[in-house]
Amino acid sequence: MARKPKTAHSTYHLKVDVSKEAIEITKNIVSGKLTKYDSSVHCALLIDLFSAGHAVAAFCSHSHICRATFFDWVRDHDEFRQAYAFAKEKARAYLESLGMDNILTPGFNSALYQFIMRNRCDYTADRKVALKGMDKAKTHNERVKIVDKKVSAGELTLSEAKSVADYIAATAKIDEITQYAADIETLKQIVHER
């Protein structure tokens, strides 16, 4: 007996056991009973979950709210905003200690760990370096001296210094070309006036 080919309209029957929690949440959504913000409960829950390395999705799941509501609470409630800032630091500390505790463990997935740290903790493949005084330096030579001091003090690696030096050289070249263009325009005006 030949089987019928499956079409885009074929129906698949999945056995799904719907949890009591899902039914309760659905009833609340349909009836308009939304989770009400309670600072004493939600701030503590936020800190507890993040302290264990969880993030916004876990909080939303536990609180029966959506991500948009979470960020509405962050925007609308000062104490929740402060708890969120503190909770993020707790999560970061947890994740950092997780890496430190497991870095020498055979099979530790360092690529996954780096991915998590970049996405959850704003770590980057290249670190962000603030060079004090760069905004006040008037010349490119002054900027190079600042970089040299940072390297000497151990505040910049050589590859970071090279990246900054390349940036300084590029801006110097742009400034030089801009000045040449201005000089040419001045010469054109002088020739035209004669």
Whether 99 and 150 share a structural domain: no
pLDDT for 1 equals: 54
pLDDT for 27 equals: 80
Report the percentage of the chain scoring pLDDT > 70: 90
CATH of residue 70: 1.10.10
Boundary residue ending a domain (120, 153, 170): 120
Whether 110 and 44 share a structural domain: yes
Domain boundaries, position 45: 35-120
* Domains contained in the chain, number: 2
pLDDT tens per residue, range 21-62: 888 878 877 877 778 899 999 999 999 999 999 999 999 999
Band of residue 132 on the pLDDT scale cut at 50, 70, 90: confident
Whether 116 and 41 share a structural domain: yes
Greater pLDDT, 86 or 21: 86
Residue 25 falls inside a structural domain: no
Whether 82 and 46 share a structural domain: yes
- The answer, yes or no, to whether residue 125 has pLDDT greater than 70, is no
Going from the C-alpha of 82 to that of each of 42, 43, 66, 90, the distances in angstroms are 12, 9, 20, 12
The reported pTM is 0.55
pLDDT tens per residue, range 161-179: 888 888 888 988 998 899 9
> Phi and psi for 139 in degrees, rounded to 5?
-125, 165
Helices (H) and strands (E) in the chain, counts: 8, 0
Whether 111 and 145 share a structural domain: no
| Residue 37: CA count within 13 A, CB half-sphere | 16
Residue 17 falls inside a structural domain: no
Boundary residue ending a domain (87, 120, 153): 120
Greater pLDDT, 46 or 188: 46
Mean predicted lDDT score pLDDT of the chain: 85
Whether 115 and 72 share a structural domain: yes
Residue 13 falls inside a structural domain: no
Whether 111 and 154 share a structural domain: no
∠ CA 73-63-75, nearest 5°, is 5
Whether 46 and 114 share a structural domain: yes
Distance CA 21, CA 64 (A): 10
pLDDT for 82 equals: 97
Residue 125 falls inside a structural domain: no
Residue 176 falls inside a structural domain: yes
Chain centre to alpha carbon of residue 45:
23
Whether 44 and 102 share a structural domain: yes
Residue 21 falls inside a structural domain: no
Residue 20 falls inside a structural domain: no
pLDDT for 160 equals: 81
Residue 106 falls inside a structural domain: yes
